[in-house]
Every structure is written in C-alpha cells, then in structure tokens.
C-alpha cells in the first residue's frame, strides 16, 4: 500500500511540475500571439479530457495490480 502512495505522490509531483513549467512558458509568449485553442478557450477542455483519461488509466492499472496480487497469493 505504501508503494502505491509513493507512486501516486510522484505522479502528482510530476504533473504539478509540468503545469508550472507550461505556465511559465505561456506567459513568456507575446499576448497577441495566442493559439487557436487558447483563444477559443478550448485548451481547458482538451486538458480536462487528457487528465481524465490518464487518471482512468492509473486507477485501472492499480486495480488490475491488486487483483493479480490476490490471485498470486491465493495460488501459493
């Protein structure tokens, strides 16, 4: 269980770092040179979908690992 907590915290720290880096590079760009997705406000929808998919995959992998561990312990 402790390994899962470390793994999840590591992923969260990585995501936070990526968001901070992305924000600093976005603010350095000229204000009148916004991209299409950013100017239309759709970048937030794209990011929400990506984060949802990644979170779903993470939950699926953790549940699958727990089921496999139960099966391995039951067969020994």
In this model, does residue 56 exceed pLDDT 80?
yes
In this model, does residue 33 exceed pLDDT 80?
no
In this model, does residue 75 exceed pLDDT 90?
no
**What is the per-residue pLDDT for 66?**
94
Q: Domain extents for the chain? A: 2-75
**What is the per-residue pLDDT for 1?**
62
**What is the per-residue pLDDT for 74?**
86
Alpha-carbon distance of 43 to 39, in angstroms, equals 9
């Amino acid at each position: 269980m402790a390994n899962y907590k470390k793994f999840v915290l590591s992923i969260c720290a990585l995501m936070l770092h990526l968001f901070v880096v992305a924000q600093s590079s976005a603010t350095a760009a000229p204000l009148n040179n916004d991209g299409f997705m950013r100017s239309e406000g759709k970048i937030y929808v794209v990011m929400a979908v990506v984060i949802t998919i990644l979170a779903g995959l993470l939950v699926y992998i953790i549940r699958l690992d727990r089921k496999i561990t139960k099966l391995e312990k039951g067969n020994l």
